[in-house]
Amino acid sequence: MSLSARLVAGSVMVLAVFLGLTGIAISYSVHQRADAASQDRLQGLVFGILGATNVSDSGELSVSMGELPERTLALEGAGLYAEIVDSDGMRLWRSRSIIESVPPVRASAIGDWQQELVKLANGDHARRIQLQTVWEQDNGAELPFIVHVVDARGDDVRAMARFNRSLWATLLGVAAVLLVLQLAVLRAALGPLRKLGRDIDAMTQGNKEVLEEDFPKELSPLATSVNALHARERGRHESYRHLLDDLAHNLKTPLAILHNLDDSTVSTQANSMQRSIDRYLQRAATETTTTLTPSVLLLPVLERVAESMRKLHQNPALQFEHDISPTAALRAPEADVYEVIGNLYDNACKYGAHHIRTRLHDGVLSIEDDGPGFDADNPQDLLTRGARADAFTEGKGIGLATVKQFVVAWGGEVQLARSDLGGARCSLTLRSMIG
């Protein structure tokens, strides 16, 4: 996962946990307050029933319906039920709002309240409350009884369900808004990091020499270090090439003297030393890093080399066809690109080609001609240093080998084959191609 994806995933998890716990806490608190309010309301109803209750001298109990605090007690099927039961379980009074099944009362101490949530026979839930009390008559006699109220209307349950739906819908909306804000904050915070990545990519492609160092203080040391590494890398390779050039220059005169001596053994060894020096100089040139090298536009190089070939071979009639985008570029040292194209064009012209076509497709640069082509059964053998296709044509057999060395150093490969034009085709697969 990318750094942005990890931060977003972490933010989503933290936000989900926070809002989830917040929703649970709010829902629990509101439910507790709603339960307390419902219990207070039912207790008030019990006190109201007691206020509407009268006991005659003969001990008969009656309740004035007009004085009851809840008029729904007088409506059948209203879902709110009240009754008064004596200590023996006999019903002394009941409201008209009969429900199918009423939970039984339970004997308890005088002044004791019992409140609970019960399940009725039809599956509905109801709140039940009862108070054990006693009526003291004027003659000193006592009449113990229980005031029992059952509320099966479910108003509070439905209200809490609506509240829960509203709560979680609101929290989801808040989560969406906060997530969008968090994404915007993360995008702004990671902007310098993305810019640093783009600048490093541009540097590795050769489109940028140094990184800007006006980054936040956390990234400035990284940009400074990359610039220092870039400078050291280029300086190191340039130093290697200069040292090898100096070595070749210093050995040039002694080798020439040895080569001119009459001793054939000394002359042979001098030639061998010269070839070794040339080979290692060539290797040093091709092993120069390309990841930090500026890109080179290919079309201008092709056109300049083509014009040079017309002058070199004194043949203005040479036709060069360039089927390549003007923006196509190769991330490689410019001098090396000229040498590769020059070797391939020179080979085509030297072996009698009149029409040379260069095309670029899917990262493969193909150079074809209408010359005699390759006579060898396996043209790939010609990429070996010293191998030649025609022993009668002037050359040392190192041109294609040099091309292969450069292309391999650029991370590519070379393929030799017959061309549709009738001659040779050299295909260069260039992974460092841009555009």
pLDDT in tens, 38-50: 889 899 999 999 8
Q: How crowded is the C-beta side of 423, counted as CA atoms within 13 Å?
A: 23
Indicate whether 26 belongs to any domain: yes
Kindly indicate the confidence band of residue 282, based on its pLDDT and cuts at 50, 70 and 90.
Answer: low
Domain match, 159 and 148 both: no
Residue 431 phi, psi dihedral angles, 5° rounding: -75, -15
Predicted model pTM: 0.48
Residue type present at position 14: V
Domain match, 174 and 323 both: no
| Domain range for 73 | 55-153
- The residue among 264, 286, 308 that closes a domain is 286
| DSSP per residue, 27-72 | HHHHHHHHHHHHHHHHHHHHHHHHHTEEE-TT--EEE-GGG-S-GG
Running DSSP on this structure, what letter comes out for residue 384? S
* The two three-digit tokens of residue 52, written as one number: 């509407």
- Specify burial of residue 115 (Cβ count, 10 A radius: 0-12, 13-18, 19+): middle
Q: What is the pLDDT of residue 153?
A: 80
- The residue among 153, 180, 196 that closes a domain is 153
Indicate whether 214 belongs to any domain: no
Give strand pairing partners of 360.
365
* The two three-digit tokens of residue 328, written as one number: 């196509």
Handedness of CA 282, 427, 356, 394 (dihedral sign): positive
Domain match, 37 and 108 both: no
Kindly indicate the confidence band of residue 224, based on its pLDDT and cuts at 50, 70 and 90.
Answer: confident
pLDDT in tens, 347-375: 888 888 899 999 998 889 999 999 888 87
Domain match, 161 and 245 both: no
CATH of the domain at 357: 3.30.565.10
If one counts every other C-beta atom within 10 angstroms of the C-beta of residue 244, the result is 16
Indicate whether 212 belongs to any domain: no
Domain match, 21 and 161 both: yes
- The residue among 153, 170, 189 that closes a domain is 153
Q: At 173, which helix (H) or strand (E)?
A: helix 155-204
Report the percent of the chain where pLDDT is more than 70: 86
Kindly indicate the confidence band of residue 333, based on its pLDDT and cuts at 50, 70 and 90.
Answer: confident
Indicate whether 383 belongs to any domain: yes
Domain match, 274 and 243 both: yes
Domain match, 47 and 175 both: yes
Answer for the pair 305, 341: CB distance below 8 angstroms, yes or no: yes
Alpha-carbon distance of 59 to 237, in angstroms, equals 117
Kindly indicate the confidence band of residue 188, based on its pLDDT and cuts at 50, 70 and 90.
Answer: confident
- pLDDT for residue 292 is more than 80: no
Alpha-carbon distance of 398 to 386, in angstroms, equals 6
Domain match, 372 and 430 both: yes
Domain match, 47 and 121 both: no
Domain match, 333 and 402 both: yes
Give the mean model confidence (pLDDT) for residues 261-281: 68
Domain count, the chain: 4
Q: What is the pLDDT of residue 170?
A: 93
